[in-house]
């Protein structure tokens, strides 16, 4: 009982940690993207940089936590073999591509109201553009996370047997 619960708390802490790392990296990418978009569109950078950074940071936090939990579930199901970096990147891309659709369906405040006021073609362009961007970020972050995790010494990771088999 207690040992199993401790294991899940450790995995949850790991998922939140991966989410935080992905979120911080995503906030930087989003902030830079917001600044560039502001310069190109002639919009105030002081507004776009933090909004884009916070939105992308929150999105990539959930991407990272979800990715970590998916790997945990894979390890707990005793799936044989170690996933290739390409397969992990594809999983990250799929999760990333789906996330903007979830954000658009959820009431996320003024951003959703502003976007739904657009003509349908513009709304779909924004949605598909965000989906493609999040897919690329998810794939890159997933591949990088798996590569870093595989290189970490076992003594530092505190991995159990199933996680060691998963990461190789």
Range of the domain at 99: 2-167
Mean predicted lDDT score pLDDT of the chain: 76
Using CA of residue 23, residue 24, residue 26, residue 31, what is the dihedral sign?
positive
Question: What is the tens place of the pLDDT at every residue in 13-44?
Answer: 888 999 999 999 989 988 887 788 777 777 77
Cα 86 to Cα 143: distance, rounded to the nearest angstrom: 7
Indicate the range of 32-36, 103-107, 120-124 predicted with least confidence: 103-107
Cα 29 to Cα 21: distance, rounded to the nearest angstrom: 13
Mean pLDDT of 83-90: 86
Query: What count of other Cβ atoms lies within 10 Å of the Cβ of residue 118?
Result: 12
Query: What count of other Cβ atoms lies within 10 Å of the Cβ of residue 72?
Result: 20
Mean pLDDT of 140-167: 69
Q: How far is C-alpha 120 from the geometric centre of its chain's CA atoms?
A: 27
Whether the predicted pLDDT of 152 surpasses 90: no
Counting the structural domains of the chain, the total is 1
User: Which of 126, 59, 144, 127 is closest to 95 using CA atoms?
Assistant: 59
Would you state the pLDDT for residue 7?
78
Question: pTM of this prediction?
Answer: 0.66
């Amino acid at each position: 009982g207690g040992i199993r619960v401790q294991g899940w708390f450790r995995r949850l802490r790991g998922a939140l940690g991966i989410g935080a790392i992905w979120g911080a990296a995503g906030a930087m990418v989003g902030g830079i993207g917001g600044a560039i978009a502001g310069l190109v569109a002639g919009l105030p950078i002081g507004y776009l940089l933090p909004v884009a950074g916070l939105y992308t940071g929150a999105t990539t936090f959930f991407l990272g936590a979800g990715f970590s939990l998916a790997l945990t579930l894979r390890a707990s199901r005793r799936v044989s073999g170690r996933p290739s970096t390409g397969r992990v990147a594809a999983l990250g891309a799929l999760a990333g591509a789906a996330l903007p659709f979830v954000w658009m369906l959820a009431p996320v405040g003024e951003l959703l109201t502003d976007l739904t006021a657009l003509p349908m073609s513009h709304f779909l362009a924004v949605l598909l553009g965000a989906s493609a961007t999040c897919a690329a970020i998810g794939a890159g972050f997933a591949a990088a996370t798996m590569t870093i995790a595989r290189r970490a010494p076992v003594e530092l990771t505190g991995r159990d047997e199933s996680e060691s088999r998963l990461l190789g």
